[in-house]
Structure 1
Amino acid sequence: MLRIYTSDHSLYCAKLRILFRHKQIAFEEAPPPGGGGSAEYLSIVPSGNIPALVDGDLVLTDSEAIAEYLEEKYPERPMLPETQVGRALSRERSRFADTRLEPALRLTFPHVAPSSRDAGAINAAHAIITKRLVALAVMLDRSPLPRDHLWMGDCGTIVTLEWIALFEGPVIAALDWPEAVTTYRRQMLQHAAVADEMTAYRPEMLHYMREKGAL
């Protein structure tokens, strides 16, 4: 059986579990042996990255690389479109989530705890998150990818959006959500794999917030 090493509140682990759920791939989940960055874990996963996939002799990291590998190995219930343009658009959405949207959210993580919050940094992060949401709205309006199918590019996008929504109020000021993004969130949460993962994952998100004193 496939094994993935994960951490409780990792966004990228949740993203990967959505793909496993949707493709109905059996897997076992475990924390990094000895903890992330430990010598024991590094002996298995030299990069120390989380999540990591172990499939026989293969050890693979990076959520996108793992997703692409699983898509090729388990082509049933495909998560990339049939057309070249469709596949490119799904991959673009993945890259946008990983390299633009999530990094904007990550700017707020050092300031989640009220005791260490820097108002200037939070305001700057709010501006960048707003900019990314507007860009995502334009991309969604232009994309022909049907929303009644869950694509690979949706997995990380929806998890990041749910973190942003959770931070709104307790960490950052209210956001002016573009209608296209609000509609997209609602549609993505209707997919069983997303809904099931968020049911299991949201308590970890809330636990993280409570640990930081943000709730």
Structure 2
Amino acid sequence: MLTLYAIPVSLYCAKLRITLRAKGLQWQEIPPPGGYGSADYKTVVPSGNLPALRDGDLLLADSEAIAEYLNDIHPNPPMLPATPAARARMRERGRFHDTRLEPAVRALFGSISSPDPALSAAQSAKITAHLAQLAQMGLDDLPFGLGDCGFAITFAWIEALTSVLGLAIDWPHAVQGYRRRINAEPAVAAELGAYRPILAAWLQAAR
């Protein structure tokens, strides 16, 4: 059985669990020995990154690398499109999440216990700008795939942080439709059902 090193609230661990669910795979989930970033965990996973996956003798850390590996060895249902151009666009979508939208949201995590109105305003503008960019990327012409999994969780974070930090986010109509579509995917719905209470509890404790 696959072994996943993860912590429940981690956005990237939740992102990978969507892939695992979509593939219909079974896995056991364990916390990093000694805690995230600990020396003990780095004896197992040298980078210290989460999530990490062990499959027999193979150990992988990095959600994108793991997801592509799972898609290669468990090709059905496929989570990358059939043509090179469409696969590239799906990967582009996923990279946009990981390098643009998610970092703009993550920049707010440190202010949850002591809200900074100036930071909230600045990041609201950045998040809104990235959502506007996403709306122009053609969200309706590819089937659900690897590049969509992170957005489902990050959208939930944006929604939760809006109420906690008073964010002012403009959600483009195209992104609202995209969010409804991916949230209706069974794997996404199952993960969000488990994840939202964990996120709410973590935010309450962080405050």
Percent identity, aligned pairs only, is 50
1:157 matches 2:154: no
Residue correspondence of structure 1 range 55-70 to structure 2 within 5 A: 55-70=55-70
Deviations 1:67-91 (A, max 9, x none): 1111111111110000111101110
Point out the more displaced range, 35-44 or 1-10.
Answer: 35-44
Unaligned runs of 5+ in 2: none
- Give 1:171's match in structure 2, choosing from 165, 169, 172: 165
1:130 matches 2:128: yes
Aligned residues, how many? 207
Unaligned runs of 5+ in 1: none
Counterpart position of 1:182: 176
How large is the RMSD of aligned CA atoms in angstroms? Answer: 1.2
The amino acid across from 1:74 in the alignment is H
**How far apart, CA to CA, are the structure 2 residues paired with 1:44 and 1:165?**
35
Q: Would you identify which runs of 4 or more consecutive aligned residues in structure 1 move more than 4 Å?
A: none
SS at match of 2:165: coil
**How far apart, CA to CA, are the structure 1 residues paired with 2:112 and 2:128?**
18
Provide TM-score, normalisation by structure 2.
Answer: 0.96
Distance apart, 1:120 and its partner CA: 1.2
**How far apart, CA to CA, are the structure 1 residues paired with 2:39 and 2:82?**
42
**How far apart, CA to CA, are the structure 2 residues paired with 1:118 and 1:166?**
16
- Do the aligned partners of 2:9 and 2:198 also contact (CA within 8 Å) in 1? yes
Residue correspondence of structure 1 range 87-166 to structure 2 within 5 A: 87-113=87-113, 116-140=114-138, 144-145=141-142, 149-166=143-160
Q: CA 1:190–1:18 in structure 2 vs 1: closer, same or farther (change >3 Å)?
A: same
Provide TM-score, normalisation by structure 1.
Answer: 0.93
Counterpart position of 2:195: 201
